[in-house]
Amino acid sequence: MKVIDPVCNMTIDDANAAGVSEYKGNKYFFCNVGCKEKFDKNPESFLAKKPLMMMPAPKMEDMASTTAKAIGEMAKDPICGMVIPKDRSIKREARGRQYYFCSEDCVRTFESPEAELKSMKRRVAIALTGVVALAIFRAAVFLGLAAGATVLTWVPVPWLPWFTWGVWLFIITTPIMIFGGKGFFIGAWHAVKDRVANMDLLIALGTSTAYIYSAFVVFFPGLLPVEEKNVYFEVSAIIIAFVLLGKYMEEIIKKKSSAAVRKLLDLRPQTAKVIRDGAEVEIPAESIMVNEIVVVRPGEKIPTDGVVVEGHSSVDEKMLTGESVPVEKKTGDQVIGGTLNKVGAFKFKATRVGANTTLNQIIKMVEEAQSSSSHIQRLADKVASYFVPAVIGVAFLSAAAWILLGNSTNALLSFVAVLIIACPCAIGIATPAALMVGVGKGAELGILIRGAEYLERAQKLNLVVFDKTGTLTKGEPEATEIVAANSAGEAEIIQLAAIAEKGSEHPLAEAIIKRARMMGLNIPDAEKFEAVPGHGIRVIIEGKEIVIGNRRLMQNIGIDIKDKEAVISGLEEKGNTVMIVAGDKNLLGFIAVADTLKEHAEDVVKGLKTEGIQVVMLTGDNERTAKAIGSNVGIDRIISNVLPGDKARIIKELQAENKVVAMVGDGINDSPALAQADIGIAIGSGSDVAKETGGIILVRDDLRDVIKGIKLSRATMRKIKQNLFWALIYNSVGIPIAAFGLLNPIIAAAAMALSSLSVVSNSALLKRVKI
C-alpha cells in the first residue's frame, strides 16, 4: 500500500517503511528513522502543516483514487507538454514509470532523442537546399531576361512542351513540402483531431493554401484568371525552411536534457555481497531484500540503504550530500546506497531496496520536477493560441464577404493573402533567433543556457538559493588557523600533525599535510600508527606519543582542556572543525580546518541584493557552522541541517511563498532542487548530473557568472519580446489590408520576409549588450 511520510511528504510503500508511529488512533509511516524521530518529538507541528496527513494511512489510496477521478485521468506528454486523456494516449513504460504521449513523433523523440534529432536535421537540410535552389533558379531567370531572353520555357525533350517556369518551381518545392513540412502537417492533423489551434495548424494552412493555389494556376491554367508567373511556391518553401530551422536550433540546445537520469542510474553498483545461509555470496544489486545483511569493503560502493550492524568505516557521501568531509559510520548509523566506502569494512542491514532507496527517490524527484518545471508557456504559443484562430476566421470571413459581393477571384486572392501574410515564419523564429544569439554570447562568457523557458522565468526572478559546499565554498578543507597552547610554535604543531596524519586518507588529514608542505616542512613516516574510530589518531614519532583528535579523545587520555574551551568554541563559531594536538599527554595546540569560501562569494551576494534579489543559503551542515559561513558572505536567511532528499521540498516551500526561485548548486544531491527550481544554475566544476539538470550552466567555477547569467537571460528575454512585436506588427497591419482585397499575395510574402528580417536583425543586436 502506498502511503505518505508526514514529515518529508515522500510517497513510500508501507511494507518498506523505516518506521511506524501511532498518534490519536492513526498510523503514520516514515521513509527513514530521522523523519520518525522528528514526528515523535512534535507530531502536531507536522499535522498542522499537512492536515491531509491526519487521515489514517490506509485511506491514502482512496484519496489518490478520488484525485485521479477528479482530474479526469489526464496526463502530460513529457516531450511536447500537451495535456491529454490517458485513455486516448500512447503509453510507454520506462524505468518503472508509465509515460503518456500524444503522437508517435513524441514517442520516437522520447525513446531515441538522437535519432529524432538526426531526422530533423535531414528535413532542415532538404528544406534549405530547396530554398537555395529556388533562389539560384530565380536569379538565373532574371539574369537571362537581362541578357535579352524572351522565352521562359525550356523544352529538353520535344514531347514535354509543358516543362515551364511554374513546373520547375513545382518540382523544386514539392520535396520541401513532403519531407520538410511533414512534421507540421502531422501536428496540424492532431490539432484538428483534438479541436485545438496551434502553430502547426497555421503553418500547414498557409503553406498548403499557397502550394495548392499555385499548383492549380500551373496545371489548370483556364480555371483561374491568373498568369503563371504569379505563383507562390516559393512562399511555401521559405516558410517551412525558416520555421523548421528555428525548431531545429531549439532542439539542439535541449538534446541532452534527458541525460541526468541516466547519470544518476550509473551511480548504483551492479553487484552486492550478502550473507545467505551463513555464507557470503555475490548477487545482482537489485536482488537485495529488506533486512538482508550486506558486506561492504574499502573502495566499494554501498549498494542500497541500510543500518550498520557490525564494523566501522569512513564513507564518502559527497556524491549525494555534497559535503566534502567523509562521515564516520559505526554500529547503528545509517548508510545511503550509491555512496563510497573509504577505509574500513562493515556489515549493514538493508532497510530500503529498489524504488524506495534514497538514490531512486532522487531519480524520481528529478524526473517529476523536470516534467512539471515549466510554469510559463512560451510567449509564441500564447500568442498563437489567440492569433491562429483569429487569422483563420478572418481569412474565411474575407473570402465569404467577397463571394457575397459576387467577386470569386478577389475572394480567393484575399483568402490566400491573409493566410500568407499571417503565416508565422517570424513568430516561429522569434524565440530561437534571439536564443541562438544569447546562447552564443553566453558561451563566450562561459555561461550555457539550455532553453527559452529559463529565460522566461529570469525576468521575474526574486530569490536565489545557494548550496554551501562546493558552491559558496571550495569543497576542499584547508587548515585556516594554528593556535599554540604552550611554548610549541606553529611549525612544530603542524609538522607533528602532518607526520601523524600521513597514514590517514581523511580529507582533514590532507588539509594538514597540504599546509605543512606549503610551509616547506619535512614529513617523515611515523614509527607507529593507530586510528581511534570517531575520535582521532595516536602515533609514535621518535619515541614521542602524539595524539590528534576531538575533545572526547583528549578526555580519554587524561588531558584537561576545560580552560581552553573558549579558544575551541571561538574557532568553531567561525565555521572551523578543530583538531586538538597533544604530545606525551601535554597539550600542544589546535589546528582549525574549514571549507573556505570561494573567491568573490561576498561580492556576488551583494550584487544580487543590489538587483533586488533575496539570497538564501541551503546546507546539510549544523546551524552554527552554517551561520558562520552565512555571516561571512552577507546571507541573512540560512536553512541548515537539510537532508539530501529535502532540498527539492524546501525549494517548493519557497515557491509557495510566491517567489520565483533560482537554485545554484554543484552536487548530485542538488539535482532534484535544480530541476524543481524555476531556474536551476549548475556550477561547471560540479557533478555531471547537476550540470545536466541545471537550466543555466556556469562553465567556469566563477560565482560572478551567476549574476552575468541572470542579466544575460533577462536581456535575451527582452529581445524575444521585441522579436514577437516585430513579427506581429506586419501581420496586424497587413491582415486588414489583405482582407479587403488590397494586398497582392506577392506583397504579403514580401511583408512576411521583412518581418523575418527584422527579427533576425534585432536578435543580432544582442551581441552588443554589455553584461
For the cut 70, the answer to whether the pLDDT of residue 99 exceeds it is: yes
Residues contacting 699, CB < 8 A, separation 6+ = 446, 447, 448, 684
Whether the CB-CB separation of 481 and 737 falls below 8 Å is answered with no
Cα Rg for the chain, rounded, in angstroms? Answer: 34
Gap between the Cα atoms of 202 and 209, Å rounded:
10
Torsions phi, psi for 372 (to 5 deg): -120, 15
Residue with cell 494552412: 205
**Which of 226-240, 244-258, 356-370, 605-619 holds the top average pLDDT?**
605-619
CA torsion sign for 204, 207, 209, 214 is: negative
Q: What is the pLDDT of residues 113-127, one digit of tens each?
A: 667 677 778 888 888
**Higher-pLDDT residue of 160, 16:** 16
CA 203 to mean position of chain CA atoms:
31
Q: What is the pLDDT of residues 572-603, one digit of tens each?
A: 777 777 888 988 888 888 988 877 788 888 99
For the cut 70, the answer to whether the pLDDT of residue 362 exceeds it is: no
For the cut 60, the answer to whether the pLDDT of residue 457 exceeds it is: yes
**Higher-pLDDT residue of 171, 157:** 171
Gap between the Cα atoms of 528 and 389, Å rounded:
84
**Sequence-distant contacts of 268-274: CB under 8 A, at least 24 apart:** 268/301, 268/303, 268/337, 268/338, 268/359, 269/300, 269/301, 269/302, 269/303, 269/338, 271/303, 272/303, 272/304, 273/297
Gap between the Cα atoms of 471 and 694, Å rounded:
14
Assign 3-state DSSP to the chain and report helix, strand, coil percentages, each to 5: 55, 20, 25
Q: What is the pLDDT of residue 59?
A: 36
Whether the CB-CB separation of 242 and 262 falls below 8 Å is answered with no
pLDDT band at 376 (very low <50, low <70, confident <90, very high): very low
Alpha helices in 112-198 (DSSP H): 113-146, 165-175, 182-193
For the cut 70, the answer to whether the pLDDT of residue 73 exceeds it is: no
Exposure class string for 457-493: b at 16+ Cβ within 10 A, else e: bbbebebbbbbbbbbbbbbebbbbebbebeebeeebb
Gap between the Cα atoms of 639 and 657, Å rounded:
15
Return the amino acid letter for 197. A
Rounded average pLDDT over 608-613:
90
For the cut 50, the answer to whether the pLDDT of residue 71 exceeds it is: no
Q: What is the pLDDT of residue 308?
A: 94
Residue 360 in 3-state DSSP?
helix
Q: Give the Cβ contact number of residue 292 at 10 Å.
A: 18
Which of the following is catalytic: 5, 200, 316, 467? 467
CA-nearest of 267, 335, 341 to 298 is 341
User: In this predicted structure, which of 196-200, 313-317, 395-399, 638-642 has the lowest mean pLDDT?
Assistant: 196-200
Residue with cell 529570469: 458
Task: Please spell the DSSP secondary structure of 216-262, one letter per residue.
Answer: HHHH-TTTSS--TTS--HHHHHHHHHHHHHHHHHHHHHHTTTTHHHH
Q: What is the pLDDT of residues 378-387, one digit of tens each?
A: 455 556 567 7
Q: What is the pLDDT of residue 350?
A: 93
CA 405 to mean position of chain CA atoms:
57
Residues contacting 250, CB < 8 A, separation 6+ = 431, 432, 435, 451, 452
Q: How far is CA 545 from CA 489, 506, 513, 586, in A?
A: 18, 20, 19, 10
**581 beta partners:** 548, 589
Residue with cell 610551509: 519
| DSSP H or E stretch at residue 467 | strand 463-467
Q: What is the pLDDT of residue 609?
A: 92
**Higher-pLDDT residue of 610, 447:** 610
Whether the CB-CB separation of 180 and 132 falls below 8 Å is answered with no
Q: Give the Cβ contact number of residue 112 at 10 Å.
A: 12
CA-nearest of 288, 265, 268, 362 to 10 is 362
Q: What is the pLDDT of residue 606?
A: 93
Gap between the Cα atoms of 381 and 424, Å rounded:
11
Q: What is the pLDDT of residues 249-307, one digit of tens each?
A: 656 644 543 444 555 566 778 889 999 888 999 988 888 999 999 999 988 999 999 99
CA torsion sign for 496, 499, 504, 510 is: positive
Gap between the Cα atoms of 56 and 47, Å rounded:
12
CA-nearest of 16, 57, 687, 619 to 357 is 16
| DSSP H or E stretch at residue 457 | helix 452-458
Residue with cell 544575460: 712
Whether the CB-CB separation of 743 and 643 falls below 8 Å is answered with no
The per-residue pLDDT of the chain, averaged, comes to 75
Strand ordering across the sheet containing 313-316 = 327-329, 313-316, 340-341
467 classed as catalytic = yes
Strand ordering across the sheet containing 473-484 = 473-484, 586-597, 577-583, 544-549, 536-541, 528-532
**Which of 9-23, 148-162, 626-640, 685-699 holds the top average pLDDT?**
626-640
Gap between the Cα atoms of 414 and 697, Å rounded:
49
CA-nearest of 739, 722, 151 to 402 is 739
CA-nearest of 319, 337, 357 to 668 is 319
Q: What is the pLDDT of residue 11?
A: 61
All cell numbers assigned to 472: 559558496
All cell numbers assigned to 114: 538522437
Dihedral angle over CA of 529, 533, 537, 539, nearest 10: -30
**Sequence-distant contacts of 253-259: CB under 8 A, at least 24 apart:** 253/435, 253/439, 253/449, 253/450, 253/451, 254/450, 254/451, 255/113, 255/114, 255/117, 256/692, 257/370, 257/450, 257/451, 257/692, 258/113, 259/688, 259/692
User: In this predicted structure, which of 18-27, 260-269, 560-569 has the lowest mean pLDDT?
Assistant: 260-269
Whether the CB-CB separation of 513 and 501 falls below 8 Å is answered with yes
CA 64 to mean position of chain CA atoms:
28
Whether the CB-CB separation of 689 and 264 falls below 8 Å is answered with yes
Residue with cell 560540479: 686
Gap between the Cα atoms of 621 and 642, Å rounded:
8
Q: Give the Cβ contact number of residue 194 at 10 Å.
A: 13
All cell numbers assigned to 303: 549498494
Whether the CB-CB separation of 356 and 347 falls below 8 Å is answered with no
Percent of the chain with pLDDT over 90: 8
Structure pTM?
Answer: 0.52
